[in-house]
Amino acid sequence: MPLSETLRTSRPTARPPAPRSPALLVIACTALAPAAWGTTYAVTTELLPPDRPLLAALLRSLPGGLLLVALTRLLPRGAWWWKAAALGTLNFGAFFPLLFVSAERLPGGVAATVGAIQPVIVAGLAVAVLHEAPSAWRTGWALAGAAGVGLVVLGPTAALDPVGVLAGLAGAASMALGVTLTKHWGRPAGVGPLTLAGWQLSAGGLVLLPLAIAVEGPPPHLDGPAVLGYLWLGTVGGFVAYAVWFRGIGLLPVTATALLGLLSPLVAAAIGVAALGESLTAVQLAGFAVALTALVAGQRTAPATRPPDPAR
Q: Is there a contact between 264 and 35 (Cβ–Cβ < 8 Å)?
A: yes
Could you tell me if residue 291 is inside a domain? yes
pLDDT digits (tens, 9 = 90+) for 209-240: 999 999 999 988 899 999 999 999 999 999 99
Higher pLDDT, 248 or 162: 248
The reply to whether 148 falls in a domain is: yes
- At 156, the pLDDT band (50, 70, 90 cuts) reads low
Distance in angstroms (rounded) separating the CA atoms of residues 24 and 18: 17
Domain assignment present for 311: no
DSSP states of 46-86:
HHSPTT-HHHHHHHHHHHHHHHHHHHHT----TTHHHHHHH
Reported as a pLDDT band with limits 50, 70 and 90, residue 16 is very low
Judge whether 195 lies within some domain.
Answer: yes
**Angle separating helix axes 282-297 and 263-274, nearest 10 degrees:** 140
Indicate the angle between helix axes 263-274 and 136-153, nearest 10 degrees. 30
Q: What pLDDT, on a 0 to 100 scale, did the predictor assign at position 230? A: 93
Q: Are 280 and 288 in contact (CB under 8 A)?
A: yes
Is pTM beyond 0.75? Reply is yes
Return the minimum-mean-pLDDT range out of 15-19, 70-74, 120-124, 143-147.
15-19
Question: Considering the domain boundaries, does residue 288 fall inside one?
Answer: yes
Contact 68, 203 (CB under 8 A): no
- How many structural domains are present in the chain? 1
- Residue 279's domain spans which residues? 22-297
As a whole number of angstroms, the distance between CA 271 and CA 194 comes to: 28
Q: Is residue 108 assigned to a domain? A: yes
Residue 217, in any domain of the structure: yes
Whether 280 is in a domain gets the answer: yes
What DSSP string runs through 17-39?
A: PPPPP-HHHHHHHHHHHHHHHTT
- 3-state class percentages of the chain: helix first, strand second, coil last, to nearest 5: 70, 0, 30
